[in-house]
Amino acid sequence: MEQYVIKGGTPLKGEVEIGGAKNAALAILAAAIMTEDTVRISNVPDVRDTNVLLGAIQDIGATVTREDKNTVVINGAGIHTYSVDYDYVNKIRASYYLLGSMLGRFKKAEVALPGGCDIGSRPIDLHIKGFKALGAEVDISYGLISAKADRLVGNHIYLDKVSVGATINILMAAVLAEGKTVIDNAAREPHVVDVANFLNSMGADIRGAGTESIRINGVSKLHGTDYSVIPDQIEAGTFLFAGVATGGDVTVKNVIPKHLEATTSKLLETGCKVIEFDDAVRVIAAKPYNQTSVTTLPYPGFPTDMQPQMAVVLALANGVSTVTESIFESRFKYVDELARMGASMQVEGNVAIIKGVDKLTGARVQAPDLRAGAALVIAGLAAEGVTIVDDIHYIQRGYELFHEKLQKLGATIEKTSTDKEIQKFILKVS
């Protein structure tokens, strides 16, 4: 297993290039097989999740080639099976996007049922509701979801809960259905808009993506395209929070500032300085910074994927803050790890009450999931002394060149895989 080893206390300063959005790329890669033509996609983050999904796409018979580490070329003409192996779904839930794309194109699909995960039970009842509304028969047995339809016919679908995954999966099935589909109470995330723009560049007819009501006129087939994935707002926010927690001055480049509004407005509330450019955002930390309170909400609200990172910033703020997690039921597993670094936090239901402390101290901690793992690295960068973060495979799922980018901002951090390497790092920095 690998670890990050961090010597904390250095204010992060400088510029960091932000990569493509993982959660947009996963859906776009799945949608790329909806045509027999060749599709070229650039700005794809080279992370474990996207690489596992590319493996699944290859496995069902599509050809996948790389022009470079962030540009893939996919051709779905040779797809010969409509069943995605369990071990892909077990590795990444987003493999279930192949349900929507295969059902849309082939009118049949079979994918292993995704389990729960580190942050909650994560049901997919809304995905299934949408597929059924379009005329598909959906069967769940033996741990598999099978969907098939003689024809897919457009319908009016209301999502009881705002769901990114359900919105995208239903959208993909609807673009090749006959007639008109309306998805109401749809998710409005930038990556939903990106998938809709991608499909429209393939000849789909989707309007209203980014609003709560998406209207789709079914078309008979889709054609190839050349598309670039939007920047990752969560990667950008993570680096901005690392700058704030360490009392630094960080500029994230290649971003869409509007996508970061909920995140940067919270930083303004803490007293930090935020400067927006056309495709960059700079945040200058105010030390000490003030407490504030945040509730995670569907976009354009504060993103749940930034919740653990925000909690670390608030752990070092003046006064008492609260973080309310309204999207997932167990996204506070990192709190016990942070407490071992001196944070004063207690969780009551879906609210974390955080009493700011003067400093955190380094400790050996475990990443419980992707975003909490990144948050623990931020805590280590801000802490006094040395922090070792275990189970960093979670972090590598969604952050490309994570520790290299932090090093460029002045962080003393290395990736190790043995105790000997850890000891060598500690000797070097002490």
The verdict on 130 binding ligand EPZ (CB under 6 A) reads no
Residue 6: both structure tokens together: 């961090």
Kindly tell me which residue out of 166, 195, 283, 312 binds ligand EPZ, with binding defined by CB under 6 A.
166
Nearest CA to 224 out of 205, 207, 199 is that of: 199
Which residue of the set 73, 79, 113, 117 is catalytic? 117
Single residue of 8, 104, 154, 165 touching ligand EPZ by CB under 6 A: 165
State yes or no: residue 377 binds ligand EPZ (CB under 6 A).
Answer: no
Cα gap 405→401, rounded to integer Å: 6
123 binds ligand EPZ (CB under 6 A): yes
301 is an interface residue for ligand EPZ by CB under 6 A: no
Rg, the chain, Cα only: 22
Q: Which is nearer to ligand EPZ, 122 or 180 (CB)?
A: 122
Q: Counting contacts by CB under 6 A, is residue 164 touching ligand EPZ?
A: yes
Interface with ligand EPZ includes 126 (CB under 6 A)? yes
Binding segment (CB under 6 A) for ligand EPZ, from list 58-66, 76-84, 123-131, 236-244: 123-131
Rounded to whole angstroms, the Cα distance separating 310 from 399 reads: 17
Asked if 371 interacts with ligand EPZ (CB under 6 A), we say yes
Least distance to ligand EPZ, CB of residue 413, Å: 21
Residue from 41, 94, 98, 171 touching ligand EPZ (CB under 6 A): that is 94
Q: DSSP letters of 116-162?
A: -BTTB----HHHHHHHHHTT-EEEEETTEEEEE-S--B--EEE-SS-
* Interatomic CA distance for residues 311 and 320, integer angstroms: 11
CB of 273 to ligand EPZ, least distance (A): 28
Angstrom CA distances, 353 to 291, 295, 340, 350, stand at 11, 12, 16, 10
Residue nearest to ligand EPZ (CB): 165
State which of residues 40, 108, 122, 355 lies at the interface with ligand EPZ (CB under 6 A). 122
H-helix or E-strand spanning residue 337: helix 335-339
How many Cβ atoms from other residues are within 10 Å of residue 220's Cβ? 7
Q: How far apart are CA 312 and CA 306, in angstroms?
A: 10
Q: Is 257 in the site for ligand EPZ (CB under 6 A)?
A: no
Among the residue ranges 32-40, 50-58, 70-78, 116-124, the one whose residues contact ligand EPZ (CB under 6 A): 116-124
Interface segment toward ligand EPZ; rule CB under 6 A; list 1-9, 51-59, 124-132, 309-317: 124-132
* Neighbouring-strand partners of residue 214: 183
Q: How far is the CB of 147 from ligand EPZ (least distance, A)?
A: 14
User: Is 419 near ligand EPZ (CB under 6 A)?
Assistant: no
**C-alpha distances in Å from residue 309, one per residue of 235, 373, 378:** 11, 9, 7
Q: Which stretch binds ligand EPZ (CB under 6 A): 35-43, 157-165, 211-219, 285-293?
A: 157-165
Contact 256, 280 (CB under 8 A): no
370 is a contact residue toward ligand EPZ (CB under 6 A): yes
Q: Is 272 a catalytic residue?
A: no
Of the residues 5, 19, 23, 155, which one makes contact with ligand EPZ according to CB under 6 A: 23
The total of other beta-carbon atoms located within 10 Å of residue 404's CB is 11
Choosing from 125, 137, 205, 419, the residue that interacts with ligand EPZ (CB under 6 A) is: 125
Classify each residue of 231-240 as buried b or exposed e, where b means 16 or more C-beta atoms within 10 Å of its C-beta: bbbbbbbbbb
| Rounded least distance, CB 324 to ligand EPZ, Å | 14
Q: Is the distance from CB of 136 to CB of 154 less than 8 angstroms? A: no
CA–CA dist 22, 92 (Å, integer): 12
Active site residues: 117
Footprint of ligand EPZ on this chain (CB under 6 A)? Answer: 23, 26, 94, 120, 122-127, 161, 163-166, 187, 304-305, 327-328, 370-371, 398
